[in-house]
A and B are shown apart, each in its own frame.
Chain A
Amino acid sequence: MSFSGPQFGLGLRKPHYQDFLETRVPVDFVEVISENFMVPGGRPRDILRRVRQDYPVAIHGVSMSVGSADGLRVDYLLRLRELIAEIEPFIVSDHLCWTRHGAHNSHDLLPLPYTREALDVVCANVGKAQDVLGREMLIENPSSYIAFADDEMSEWDFLAELTRRTGCGLLLDVNNIHVSATNHGFSSADYLAGIPFASVGQIHLAGHTQGQHCLIDTHDRPVPDPVWALLRDALARAPRAAVMIERDDAIPPLPELLAELAIARDIASQVVVPCA
């Protein structure tokens, strides 16, 4: 697997819609939250269509729930497939998590125990999603605040096995690595060493908040230094991965995000790729 698409992008968020519609913003692509546009019609869908005329689009989901023990919702997959058919995104991604069980949806990215049973469930669900969508997906590593007593493997081993068994790619969120490593006391370097970087198609950058007892993945502030350092390490192993900044709260004016994206470009330009 190799990736060589558009490389530096931003999340498309409401405060910046007009900027993207009225000017040529210097990004290589935008990423949108899939569910915000999985609607029959109206202004949101129209905006995405118009933005798509000028920018490659990655779509990033939060509700597929690939970790649900009772499987995926077919109505969700069909809606997503319809959006993909119209927008033709260059990346389709979702998270390694579960959001739903039975009829109860949490609307949060809930953590999985890293067990062989959970791996079987996730592999089956990702396989089914890729079959229905007719394309490869990227699965993002989550940030998490708890661990399970019955974990049987590390998160990176779980992800590596997932890619091997399903052929899916990875969306590596280096902020999530930092948050989870801090919260659970593992080494970010060990994490990166265990990731099959040939499968990494995209990298997410974001900021987090120090909570009372742990780091919280809030996406409400600039990318901090430890996350930039992880980007440097990740790009050394996946130099052509698409890199984007996620900002979902306290969203600043677009020039501030573009200045952050310039840092990512600068890091990428300085990265030394080790010889194979």
Chain B
Amino acid sequence: MRLSEMQGAFLGWLASGEDAAMRRLPLAKGAEHGLGVYQNNYRAALMACLADSFPQTLLWLGEGPFEAAAARHIERVPPDSWTLDDYASGFPASLAEDYPYDPEVAELARIELVLSQVFVAADAVPLDAGAMGAIDWDSARLQTVPALSILSLHSNAEEIWIALADETPPPEVGWGKEARPVLIWRQGFMCRLRSLDADEAGMLGYLSGDAIPFTDLCRDAAARWGEHSGIARIGQYLARWVADGLVR
């Protein structure tokens, strides 16, 4: 058997665990027992990855249901990245399929996934409050730091996540037709999370691509909320963004 064929067959057996797939492998005599070690390693590594990546989702669901959902995900979705960390990325979608009537489950998992991504996102030096006075605002350009993401949630999953992380009783599940934006970012090395209104989310979203001239931001705000209110609102947002380390 060619090496390529053997490797495809081996991975097919790892994912399926089927005896028929095992019998295709060109093994030396008595290798069946040793194969079990690889089968166990494969599933244990993926299960551990999901449990480590979604600790509050595990708490919320309970160990048994979480492991059942993780096992179904492992059956459906083979890992495709060189880093095990990436295996977490498809789990929220699997949970959304598994728990269609409990949307907070998948949203809790989305929060944890984004927290883990923000944790290792690229470093950047945010705008320093002390340096604001020296900035030429007519030519200044702003953009958000890389370690920032805005989620749209229909449930109060962020309140549940905070309570679970703080080891306090979680609130009742809440659910709304309208999606609410929730901001997740890293300040220094600390990951943070807060809700924000749709207007602030829109302005931050505007800054999340290439750097935008500050004058364009003001012009956009004036068009939305009027000259005076728009500029005042941008001033309030900017003060908070700088305090939170959101922009550079």
Contacts and interface: CB of A to CB of B under 8 A. Distances in A.
Interface of A: 35, 38-46, 63, 65, 67-70, 73, 75-76, 98-108, 110, 112-113, 115, 117-118, 121, 144-151, 183, 211-214, 216
B26 A113 contact: yes
Interface in B91-147: 119-123, 146-147
A108 B80 contact: no
Main secondary structure of the interface of A (DSSP, over half): loop
B12 to A, nearest CB: 8
Interface in B44-66: 45-46, 49
Contacts of A146: 27-28, 31, 34-35, 38
B38 A110 contact: yes
B120 A117 contact: no
A70 B6 CA distance: 12
5 contacts: A35-B83, A46-B189, A65-B82, A121-B3, A149-B27
Contact of B28 (A45, A100, A148): A148
A102 B10 CA distance: 12
A145 B26 CA distance: 14
A150 B5 CA distance: 14
Contacts of B163: none
A51 B2 CA distance: 44
Interface string B173-205: 000000000000010010000000000000000
Interface string B56-87: 00000000000000000000001111111001
Contact of A105 (B10, B31, B80): B80
A69 B189 contact: no
Given A104-B79, A117-B2, A144 B34 contact: yes
Interface residues of B, number: 44
B79 A118 contact: no
A100 B14 CA distance: 12
Given A104-B15, A106-B11, A107-B79, A39 B120 contact: yes
B121 A42 contact: yes
B122 A40 contact: yes
A46 B121 CA distance: 12
A188 to B, nearest CB: 18
B232 to A, nearest CB: 34
B80 A103 contact: yes
Given A104-B15, A108-B45, A40 B121 contact: yes
Contact of A101 (B8, B81, B121, B122): B8
Contacts of A110: 7, 10, 38
A39 B119 CA distance: 10
Nearest to A40: B122
